[in-house]
Chains A and B, each alone.
Chain A
């Protein structure tokens, strides 16, 4: 992993079962038997909030839920940018390339849903520098496993703190999708998709520390509303 200065530190911090150190590509062909046709990515907002418009659902949110949603939004920005960059790099092949199309579209849908829900309170997308890991299949998959396991822990840590039932329903429905992604990326990387009977949560402080250790975020997200110049005309 030479050339990725913070990469090993990141993976060391995230790698729970030491399995990431193993290398096996036995599973990379597992998904190639059938194509990934027929994917439908319903509008997340419509699924979660039903007939209530997303804007209506967002309007009455408690401040603590807005805070949690913005935290989740940063993680989704990170993932969406990561998969999009990997897809565009053209370096991925086979079942991995197919899976990344699906997962990337899903993470972008999560970003869109949170941004719509938060409206002007949404934090802006940070600038990312993935330090080359999106340009090679094995380092990419290794990092994807770490990100997805991290996202599962992050959502799990926040779910009991959510106050609005609409936001909670969204959060748990996304939490299990992130767990599916984690298992999928593990399968593609060639390690056990489900290691333990119980998945642990992680605190925001811990997630923040791990994400910061990667130096993948090169500019801090800011509240959009605060950055808008006042209308002076």
Chain B
């Protein structure tokens, strides 16, 4: 039985795959309209917490940061699906999360246009060699993604904040999902603690990001 409601346009969701790709297009368009054509900013990870007033230029800088997060997620899930011997719900999680992170990368890259940072290289080491190790790495990375997006909320223009908010809650869902699979508390804090750009960069390096 499927529940439908004209009020919220459930018809869009008749096919989950189709709904998902349509959503991706909307997300991409929303982001692309905001920061397209801005110059490339170096020193991505040197963003402080207290940045200047929000501006489109600053939005671009922050989008470069979260792009690195998304690249790391895509790489971890791709490599783990190949090498970590995932099965059952953990495999289903990795497949679903990978599809979402790819859509996030596409949306952010489109928003940044030609200035989008290129994909780093990764060496995840033992983190992709067993299901248990991958599970812990996924928890660390998804928690970092939530903290990284949240940490930049007050630095973004309101329009980009709105677009970023459509992504961060999906990262939070991933974090809770993989924590639940691991038998851990899915939502351990009453408020998620934010991370600075520098903390995010350190965390990504610890997980295996090598170059940018």
User: B154 contacts which chain A residues (CB < 8 A)?
Assistant: 165, 168-169
Given A174-B191, A184-B187, A179 contacting B3 (CB threshold 8 A): no
Docked complex Cα distance between A173 and B189 (Å): 10
Contacting A at CB under 8 A, from B139-187, are: 146, 149-150, 153-154, 158-159, 161-162, 165-177, 180-181, 183-187
Most buried by A among B26, B167, B173: B173
Q: Does A156 contact B (CB under 8 A)?
A: yes
Query: Which one, B5-13, B58-66, B115-123, is touching chain A?
Result: B5-13
Cβ-defined partner of B188 (8 Å) among A12, A20, A39, A194: A39
Q: Chain A nearest CB: distance from B10 CB in Å?
A: 7
Decide if B170 touches A13 in the complex (CB within 8 Å). Answer: no
CA distance A109 to B193 in the complex (A): 15
Please tell me if A115 contacts chain B, counting CB pairs below 8 Å.
no
A154 to B180, CA, bound (A): 24
Answer whether residue A200 sits at the interface, using C-beta atoms and an 8 A cutoff.
Answer: yes
B window 36-54: CB within 8 A of A: none
A198 with B166: CB separation less than 8 A: yes
Interface of A is mostly: helix
| Contact mask for chain B residues 60-104; partner A; CB cutoff 8 A; 1 contact, 0 none | 000000000000000000000000000001000000110110011
Supposing A173-B191, A197-B27 touch, asked if A21 and B1 sit within 8 A by C-beta, the answer is yes
A193 and B177 contact, Cβ closer than 8 Å, known pairs A18-B3, A177-B172: yes
Q: Is B16 part of the contact surface with A, judged by Cβ < 8 Å?
A: yes
Contact with B along A1-43 (1 / 0, CB 8 A): 0000000000111111110110000110011111010111110
Q: How far is the CA of A74 from the CA of B24 in the complex (A)?
A: 32
Which of A83-91, A99-107, A123-131 lies at the interface with chain B? A99-107
Q: How far is the CB of A207 from chain B (nearest CB, A)?
A: 11
A175 at the interface (CB under 8 A from B): yes
* Cβ A194 vs Cβ B100 within 8 A: yes
In the complex, what's the smallest C-beta–C-beta distance from B117 to chain A, in angstroms? 20
Q: Are A21 and B3 in contact (CB under 8 A)?
A: yes
- Judge whether B173 and A194 touch: CB under 8 Å: yes
Q: Give the chain B neighbours of A42 by CB distance below 8 A.
A: 189-191
In the assembled complex, the Cα of A38 lies from the Cα of B189 at a distance in Å of 11
Once the chains bind, are A197 and B100 in contact (CB under 8 Å)?
yes
Q: Which residues of B contact A168 (CB under 8 A)?
A: 153-154
B residues with a Cβ closer than 8 A to A are: 1-5, 7-8, 10, 13, 16, 19-20, 23-24, 26-27, 89, 96-97, 99-100, 103-104, 107, 146, 149-150, 153-154, 158-159, 161-162, 165-177, 180-181, 183-194
Task: Offer 28 A-B interface pairs, CB within 8 angstroms, sorted by A.
Answer: A16-B13, A17-B13, A17-B16, A36-B185, A44-B191, A47-B190, A102-B185, A160-B161, A160-B165, A165-B154, A169-B194, A175-B165, A175-B168, A176-B150, A180-B172, A182-B173, A184-B186, A187-B180, A195-B20, A197-B99, A197-B100, A197-B103, A198-B23, A198-B27, A199-B165, A199-B169, A200-B23, A201-B166
Interfacial residues, chain A to chain B (CB-CB below 8 A) = 11-18, 20-21, 26-27, 30-34, 36, 38-42, 44, 47-48, 99, 102-103, 105-106, 109-110, 113, 152, 156, 159-161, 165, 168-170, 172-184, 187-188, 192-201, 206, 209
